[in-house]
Structure 1
Amino acid sequence: MSHQLPLQATDRVSTGLTGLDEVLDGLRIGDNVVWRVSDLDDYRRFVIPFLDSAADAGRHIIYLRFGEHPPIIDQHPAVRTITIDTLGGFESFTSRVWRLIEQHGRGAFYVCDSLSELLNAWATDAMVGNFFRVVCPFLFELDTVAWFALHPDRHSRMTLDRIRQTTQVMIDVHRHGEDVQIHPIKAWRRQSPTMFLPHREQDGRFRPITDSSDATRLQATLESERLHRQPLLDYWDRLFQEASRAVFEQDQAGMEDLQEQVLQVMISRDPQILDLARRYLSLEDLLTIRSRLVGSGYIGGKASGMLIARNILLNDAGDLWQANLEPHDSSYLGTDAYYAFLVHNGLWPAIMRQRSEVGYLNEAPALRQAILTGQFPAEIRSELERLLDHYGQYPILVRSSSLQEDGFGNAFAGKYDSVFLINQGPPEQRLAEFENAIRQVYASSMNEDALVYRKHRGLDQREEPMALLIQRVNGRFHGRYYLPDAAGVGVSRNTFAWDRTMDPKAGMVRLVMGLGTRAVDRIEGDHAAVMALDQPTRQPFRSPDECYRFSQHLVDLLDLQEGRLDTRPLSQVLETTTDIPIAQLAEVDRAATARAEEIGLQGPIWRLTFRPLVQGSSFITRLSALLNTLEAGYQHPVDVEFTLHLNEQGEPAFNLVQCRPLATIGNSGPVSLPQHLPRNRQIFCTEGHFMGGNINQSIERVIRIDASVYANLTTSQRYDVARRLGERIRESGASTLLMGPGRWGTSSPELGVPVRFSDIAGIRILVEVSENAGDMVPDLSYGSHFFQDLVESGIAYVAVFPESEECVYQPDHLPGEVPPDNPDSEIERAIRVYHMPQWPLQVRADIEQQRLVCYRPVDPGQ
């Protein structure tokens, strides 16, 4: 039963047709009117009287033109036509319409093209319904009247139902030759005994069909016509239905055309990624992806990169990889599910506030919190239940796979979350944890580092919907623990070679035992094994003691008993398990074992050097072949993540879990290093331990963290230093070199300065110094997310070891020191700033000679 509310005369709006006004009891301010038609001429013939009436009433009228069909309105003097591009995607289009409505304010009237035209640009019918669910309430809120059309046979029942639920007025138009009938389906806040009957048009009047016999005959005629139409499937489902047919019939021409259509709506918009996908993802492959996709839309950059890379290996080097590449077991949550989640939870107004210049960072925390408490649409939730049924109780990993992620030039490395799920317990508990993991990854799109990264790279106004890559975690059950034998990051170009005899084109690997989290992140208080693939046993250490000290002592794993990702000492893992292939990964430290036995401890003491794997198996040759094959396929250096599964003989099978184009700074051309440089002009010099290719930089400002002051600060004060440092960096646009003790970007302040990357994104060169004050030692962690950020931002990196004979380190020779703002503040005294705009420092590096020098070109005092 409808509730009648008292209406003012000014609340009423005419349709322009007296007969139609009688049927509907007129329109109301705030009405969205949806016309369901089979022929747009029937929409057009009702639009024109409405426009004339609105113009006579002095209304501001806007025609939103976005369809490929002939214009609904052609040069009406009272109408302003605004053309909007639909090809930018759902978010771009919806945001543009939102801003237009916002700009024109209260009381404007709108006429729109057919909503069905959006299918031509977006392919996914669900997004048409989501667009309407976003703009309809906003139009209602601003006291507008807006008209829309759609072709009902082109949409799914779910979309038609959602539009019906959201709109205020819906009218079906049926035509049989010259016989036109309208059938009001919905008219919010109004009612009459005959309002919702079919009405036949006669001489400008619309008379209800009150005879049940006539109504039955009309219904029979409509049903007869529907028999000759396609069933109610949306564009997306029809596309894949047609693709299945073409593959079954081996229709080669049809398969090529459909492959291109599917690539455009499911894989990527990036021309370079699309080119790769055309070569390596067949229509059969795309149908397989579709069978594992929850929702619709793009699978995102991370998923696309993984699938393309696997097919490059299997297609271009099948003899090797058919036997040595483990099958993947991945599923995908499409980008449309992300938008559906936002719309379902009423978050679009918050999204629009966050997308503004003022709200870009300020609105993000509240939006992030709202995402974390959101609910999933019923149709998505049921698919998630089925997906969990597939994985049983194997641990799974929920990974971000945004539209722009892992593309050429934009890796987004470490910017979005990945969440491990132990996936134990009753189905209800597992589903709740799964949903929480998805929310967490969605919410990470609002992390400050991710937002600053996007803005820094000019991507803040580009559509960035979040898809998800869901993978069975590769590994084995070891009692209460679950972990792979080993995992790593491989890069096909070693731009961090620490010896001039190393070939950068040979690539390198960053290898760990257990989960790969310790390979992709800078490890706090621990070290991954870093190997140049052409000289894998050559380490950047001076003694066996250093080799053991700077090795991995902690293992990341899944603790099934505690139900979480955890870190355990290697010794503890070995004490509680018996079947880990440690002899293929580590060596016995005989001296440490002897010392342990002297005090009654059982040995042996293992050190994770990975030499048995390197020297006794085909690991290096297979990884080199993998990287070479992928670089040839991508026609670009690559960065991969993988896990290893060792057989009884210690031979590795690879599971490739990620592949993306490797960001490289590249060479700046030949660089001449100064000869016979006086020592009093040298700030620092080093052999090896730098990254960025050939470097030729002028530095106008140096900001240095004084280790002697920093070492005496409390943990809280060290975080204050990091915050203040970010402010100092942003104070000036001068070319800046940042120098400090230990590891930049650490989360453990005792190991370095805990800045966020967004704080230092504008600098030119980053220097990590091994200082005697504390245990602040640089981490040669090329391949980690932190280093990916450096490379993508064009920031060169240097590690300085003052105790090394090949190194000169003389920070006291820096000229132009600026007094601290507050000499009594320990925070200010820890940050030493040097300005030299007239006599900039020179930093030069030659990658062939593996030498870098930072020096004063002249002595300012001379």
Structure 2
Amino acid sequence: MESSDSDLRRFERLTPFKIREVLIVSSPFDHYVLEESGHLSELISQEYSELNLTQAPRFIHSPNAVDAIALLRERSIDLVITMLRIGTMKVHEFAQQVKSIQPGLRVVLLAYNTRELATLREGAGLDHTFVWHGDSRIILAICKLMEDERNVHHDVERGDVQVILLVEDSRRFYSSYLPILYRMLVKQTSRLMYEGANLLEKNLRLRARAKILLATNHEDAMLHIERYSKNIIGVFTDGEFPTKSGNRKSAGLDLVKEIRSRNPHMPILFQSKNSELAEPARALKTTFLHKESSTLRKRIQYFMEQHMSFGDFIFRDETGEEICRAEDLRQLRDQLIEVPIDCVGRHASRNHFSHWLRTRTEFGLAAAIRPKKLDDFEELEGVREFLLSSINDFLAANRKRQIRDYSAGLEKVGGFQKLGSGTLGGKGRGLAFFYSKMPDLGIAERFPEIDIVVPKSMVVATDVFEEFVERNDLGRFASDNHNDDEVRSAFLAGRFKEEHMAVLSKILEIVDWPLAVRSSSLLEDSLHQPFAGVYDTHFLPNDHPDDKVRKKQLADAVKLIFASTYSKKAKSYVAATPNSIEEERMAVVIQELVGSQHQGLFYPLISGVARSRNHYPVAPMKAEDGVAAIALGLGVTVASGDRCLRFSPAHPNRLLQLASTSSALEQSQRKFWALKTGIEQDIDSQSLTELMVSSDIAIAEEHGRLSQIASTYVAADDRVVDGIARPGARILSFHGPLKRDSFPLANILRHVLKTCENHLSCPVEIEFAVDIKENEGRSCFAMLQLRPLLTIGAQYEVEMSHLTSENLICQSSLSLGTGVIDNIKDIVYIHPQRLNRLKTRDLSEPIERINAKLSQQNRPYILIGPGRWGSSDPSLGIPVSWGQISGAKAIVEAAMDDIHVEPSQGTHFFQNIVSFNVGYLTITSADEDVDWQWLDSHDADYEEGPLRHISLDGDARVLLDSKAGKAVIEKPTQAAD
């Protein structure tokens, strides 16, 4: 049995036509009347929001037909709504001109009252006519009806969606009726959705809601019935409407008879002002409703719930009396076991089960059940067994990919759970998305010998953070100026809600493996401006012999991540965005740590980051081939910019860092991060980071971990050979997975990056860990994080041919960013010849002070320095955090005098450069050096050792040619002269 996710994949292809731009053509006064009760766009947006519909259309107003025609020649429109007073042009003439400009564009007439329509007819360019009753929801109904008419054939064919047919020729009545019907349909569909559905799933399922079709005469009604007979779930029909035969008076009854001859059980709501039609309508087993009934809305809702299966499933006996009812699929399964077998047979023979499932958009399960007939089973008990088996298989398939709320008894199952009712945050959201989509990515089938997993995870949702902050009066730290130690102490002193603490404690009764406790804030890893490396992560050995200590460490780790929301670093980061720190909410991901135990240290063999786009490809590599950075041990090495190995998943054998023995020795990883285990003494909560240890790779060799990932430098031959059989310096070349394919790492990364990019519709970045089992057990590839990767922006050229080196502070053939950055009067730089690489840490604090001063004065600046900015390895560059340089609009990484340093791709620091669209220039050996002499010729506003801050008389400009990857920083005009 397929899970509901097979339905979701189909739903992604539904509703291909969406109305996004609506042109309203009316006199200024008529437009004012439309908006008399408020701004039309706001009212429609509010209605869309209340119904959980996707983005509301944008409305454009033209005061007359001539203006509208001119606009239609310039831009594409999805729908035209016109009123009668549109200048000198007649409405039919206008409609015909619209069709000549944009064939297929729907034109709808909206009139104030039926008297205006007395002399008008549809056709001649007009697709529909509606009457304005003073309710803006008619605009929503018009938009949705036009979408349904365009999409119904596609959606029935591709998604087996259902259809509701409204047969009515009174413009006044259907204009007031359709808004009611649409609102009820969407609300009922939303109410019936699977309880575990997330926002994405709900939006996809709303695409599969029943489509409404309007027929204003007998012939159109029969056309719809013949075309969609298997998918129509209900008919709302008037008693009288036009027919070719002229039998208007009996048109409704005649239509019902034709429907009954095809489908004796079709739900039909017969509506008329003529009470004399009530009895003959009821005789045809329809529900009669007087059009002027004061309970019209309630009667429609009752009809949809009781007759169209939008309510509970009601088991009835042969007299129609209720036996019992089921609200959801689990209750349906439970009731199926208990009800009499003749009741099961009666409902099955009338397709009630599949009908009820389809209203819940569970088309896969409905399709599996509906083709079966009673004659297919030797006895009725076989029907019951088939239904129970189908439902149980369906529920089991869903459990494998559903993000479940925490429930006692679920801990042993593993998977992905959630504590709280709030959101999962950015990191949790990406991880949950991958977890739920993993069966669709085809990874398990492609790599059957490898366990591809999302580590067992629980997300503490944002509402737990909000409750904790409010309960302990910690909101003051969002705005008050406190140091980080004060914030952490206050949060550690706070108390969790009793039921939340009980859940954290309960987890540790089952979980006995090391844990990673990661931040997952509301704004973190967002699509528009992803945060990276701003908040805390803590690793816990979770092996203390005293359970109270383990529980306290877990609770404190969560509290410390909560506290990092209001840290100095986080505040400085958020201050540089359009967001406010008061808007930030923190979720926390508690996750099984991937790796294995070795003599008191726990770590994976490989951890890394991979991106589906490479900003600095070197031929034959291409940008779309992506790039990966990997290291031995925990992922801190890669994220913080320490020495690691970079490669293209499409070209794993081309390792530029190992192109020569000198570069291999210079750039190879020397230390790795691991988690200390087996510590019996209690660790102070403020010192949880001390559980992490950086060790020499020789320790990993003692653990027997280097055979597949290390090569050896043979000094006598000045060459590097794979393996560690010979004595010599170890080079972490990862030859096993990359050259010998002992573990298909490159192929897995290519597959995961490509499929994730397709699912997110944008470039992506992933964090992962690998543990290779050489002798026993299965090797594992674990997905730790999935985030959208911000693109650099439009690719366009910037003219630079007029510039000479005398005009430039520096130029780069390896840059990131796009366009022109001007109005820069400040430059902060570090001169490489005056830099002592052993004292780079000493420069972080004065740089932070300069940044704070310039940011406060709203003075953006250019930052220039040797090596890699933001590296945690001080020998590779200046170890600043993002918040310490957040005011820089362009960053230059100049060459170091004695070593070559790779650009920062893959680090959190680099992600922030992209997120803020900061110009990023790397000075390579092919470029002319920075004009240090020109910089030194200016008086310094501040100077400390190699660090200088200078103010310019004129404006420096940064020119970024994103198409060629080139950039220059231009001196102020007067200085160049």
Question: Fold match, TM over 0.5?
Answer: yes
Pairwise CA distance, 1:327: 5.1
User: 1:783: which partner in 2?
Assistant: 906
For residue 923 of structure 2, the aligned residue among 785, 800, 813 is 800
SS of 1:535's partner is: coil
One-letter amino acid matched to 2:574 = R
Residue number in structure 1 paired with 2:232 = none
Relative to the length of structure 1, the TM-score reads 0.60
How far apart, CA to CA, are the structure 1 residues paired with 2:755 and 2:837? 51
**Aligned equivalents of 2:485, 2:953: Cα separation in 1:** 39
The 8 Å contact of residues 313 and 629 in structure 1, kept in 2 or not, is answered as no
Give the Å deviation of 1:504: 0.8
CA deviations over 1:411-465 (Å, ceiling 9, x no partner): 2211111110001122122112112211111111111121222232222166433
Q: Shift of residue 751 of structure 1? A: 4.9
Question: Quick one: distance in 1 between partners of 2:622 and 2:422?
Answer: 42
CA distance in 1, matches of 2:916, 2:454: 35
For residue 559 of structure 1, the aligned residue among 655, 666, 676 is 676
- Equivalent in the alignment of 2:535: 416
| Aligned residue number for residue 547 of structure 1 | 664
TM-fit CA distance, 1:484: 1.2
Cα deviation digits, residues 174-208 of structure 1 (max 9, x gap):
xxxxxxxxxxxxxxxxxxxxxxxxxxxxxxxxxxx
Tell me: CA distance 1:254–1:480, structure 2 relative to 1, closer, same or farther (3 Å).
farther
Matching residue within 741, 765, 777 for 2:890: 765
Q: Distance in 1 between matches of 2:360 and 2:574?
A: 37
Q: Is the 8 A contact 2:666 2:899 kept in 1?
A: no
Bigger shift: residues 450-459 or 410-419: 450-459
In the alignment, which of 715, 726, 733 is matched to residue 591 of structure 1? 715
Q: Is the 8 A contact 2:847 2:885 kept in 1?
A: no
1:570 maps to which residue? 697
**Partners of 1:408 and 1:443 in 2: how far apart?**
24
Q: Aligned to 1:502, which of 621, 632, 653? A: 621
Q: Is the 8 A contact 1:703 1:739 kept in 2?
A: yes
> 1:687 — aligned with what?
813
Q: Which is further off, 565-574 or 554-563?
A: 554-563
Unaligned runs of 5+ in 2: 1-48, 51-190, 196-325, 337-352, 364-396, 408-416, 681-690
Which of 731, 734, 740 pairs up with 1:616? 740
Deviations 1:447-491 (A, max 9, x none): 112122223222216643322211111112223222112111011
Structure 1 residues 152-551: aligned runs within 5 Å: 244-245=330-331, 252=357, 285-286=401-402, 288-291=404-407, 292-318=417-443, 319-320=445-446, 324=450, 325-326=452-453, 328-345=455-472, 347=473, 350-351=474-475, 353-355=476-478, 359-362=479-482, 366-392=486-512, 394-425=513-544, 426-460=546-580, 463-497=583-617, 499=618, 501-523=620-642, 527-536=643-652, 537-539=654-656, 543-551=660-668
Asked if structure 1 preserves the Cα contact closer than 8 Å seen for 2:820 and 2:957, the reply is no
Cα distance, 1:853–1:295 mapped onto 2, change above 3 Å: closer
For residue 401 of structure 1, report the CA deviation from its aligned partner.
1.8
Evaluate the alpha carbon distance shift between residue 636 and residue 588 of structure 1 in structure 2; reply closer, same or farther with a 3 A threshold: same
Q: Residue 375 and residue 779 in structure 1: after superposition, are their counterparts in 2 closer, same or farther (change >3 A)? A: farther
* Cα pair distance change 1:641/1:255, threshold 3 Å: farther
Q: 1:753 to 1:340 in 2, by over 3 A?
A: same
**Is the alpha carbon distance of 1:633 and 1:245 closer, same or farther for their aligned partners in structure 2, counting shifts above 3 Å?**
farther
Q: CA deviation at 1:844?
A: 3.5
Give the whole-Å Cα distance in 2 for the aligned partners of 1:659 and 1:636.
12
Q: Superposition pairs for residues 51-70 of structure 1, below 5 Å?
A: none
Change (3 A) 1:493 1:339: same
Secondary structure of 2:565's counterpart equals helix
Give the structure 1 partner of residue 255 of structure 2: none
Cα deviation 1:630-671 (Å, max 9, x = unaligned): 000010111111111324399964211110101222344133
Q: CA RMSD in A?
A: 4.1
Which string of whole-angstrom CA distances, capped at 9 and with x for unpartnered residues, describes residues 259-294 of structure 1?
xxxxxxxxxxxxxxxxxxxxxx96874463544333
Give the Cα separation in 1 of the matches to 2:855 and 2:466.
35
- Identify if the C-alpha distance between structure 1 residues 302 and 247 changes in structure 2 by more than 3 Å, giving closer, same or farther: farther
Match for residue 285 of structure 2?
A: none
Distance of 2:429 and 2:624 partners within structure 1? 25
Aligned length, in residue pairs: 579
- The alpha carbon displacement at 1:602 in A equals 8.3
Distance in 1 (CA, whole Å) between partners of 2:760 and 2:560 is 32
1:39-188 matches, within 5 Å, as none
Tell me the amino acid that sits aligned with residue 418 of structure 1.
T
Residues 812 and 966 in structure 2, CA contact (< 8 A), matched pair in contact too: yes
2:935 matched to 1:809?
Answer: no
Pairwise CA distance, 1:696: 4.1
1:137-191 CA distances to partner (integer Å, 9 max, x unpaired)? Answer: xxxxxxxxxxxxxxxxxxxxxxxxxxxxxxxxxxxxxxxxxxxxxxxxxxxxxxx
Rounded Cα–Cα distance in structure 1 between residues aligned with 2:627 and 2:838 = 37
**SS of 1:843 mapped into structure 2:** strand
Change (3 A) 1:327 1:782: closer
Tell me which residue corresponds to 2:33: none
Indicate conservation of the 8 Å contact 1:341/1:376, yes or no: yes
Q: Are the aligned partners of 1:718 and 1:749 in contact in 2 as well (CA < 8 Å)?
A: no
- Shift, 1:362, TM fit: 4.7
**SS of match in other structure, 1:471:** strand
1:730 to 828, 849, 855: 855
* Match in the other structure for 2:940: 820
Q: 1:508 offset after TM fit, Å?
A: 0.5
The whole-number CA distance in structure 2 between the counterparts of 1:647 and 1:310 is 23
Cα offsets for 1:58-112 (capped at 9, x unmatched): xxxxxxxxxxxxxxxxxxxxxxxxxxxx99xxxxxxxxxxxxxxxxxxxxxxxxx
SS of the equivalent of 1:566 reads strand
SS of 2:940 mapped into structure 1: coil
Equivalent residue runs for 1:593-608 within 5 Å:
603-608=727-732
**Aligned to 1:718, which of 843, 846, 851?**
843
| Aligned-partner residue type, residue 559 of structure 1 | K
2:961 to 845, 850, 861: 845
* Counterpart position of 2:787: 660
Q: Residue 888 of structure 2 aligns to a residue in which SS?
A: coil
Distance 2:569 2:624 in 1: 31
TM-score normalised by the chain length of structure 2:
0.53
- Partners of 1:246 and 1:547 lie apart in 2 by 65
Contact 2:796 2:963 in 1 (8 A): no
Do structure 1's residue 648 and structure 2's residue 774 form an aligned pair? yes
Residue 257 to residue 613, structure 1, CA distance change in 2 (3 Å): closer
Quote the offset at 1:516 in angstroms: 1.4
Secondary structure at 1:656 match in 2: strand
Residues 595 and 561 from structure 1, CA distance in 2 versus in 1: closer, same or farther, beyond 3 angstroms?
Answer: farther
- Partner amino acid, structure 2, of 1:819: D
For residues 792 and 246 of structure 1, the distance between their equivalents in structure 2, rounded to whole angstroms, comes to: 49
**Distance in 2 of aligned mates of 1:433 and 1:495:** 40
Partner of 1:633: 759
Q: Deviations over 1:610-639 (max 9, x none)?
A: 233212113212211110000000101111
Using the alignment, how far apart are the partners of 2:730 and 2:936 within structure 1?
Answer: 50
Native 8 Å contact 2:941 2:950 kept in 1: no
Over 3 Å counting, the alpha-carbon distance change for 1:743 and 1:502 in structure 2 is same
Check the 8 A contact 2:811/2:930 in 1, yes or no.
no
Partners of 2:958 and 2:557 in 1: CA distance: 48
2:790 partner SS: coil
Structure-1 separation of matches of 2:576 and 2:962:
28
What are the Cα deviations for residues 32-62 of structure 1, in whole angstroms up to 9, with x where unaligned? xxxxxxxxxxxxxxxxxxxxxxxxxxxxxxx
Amino acid at match of 2:462: T
Distance 1:815 1:834, change over 3 A: farther
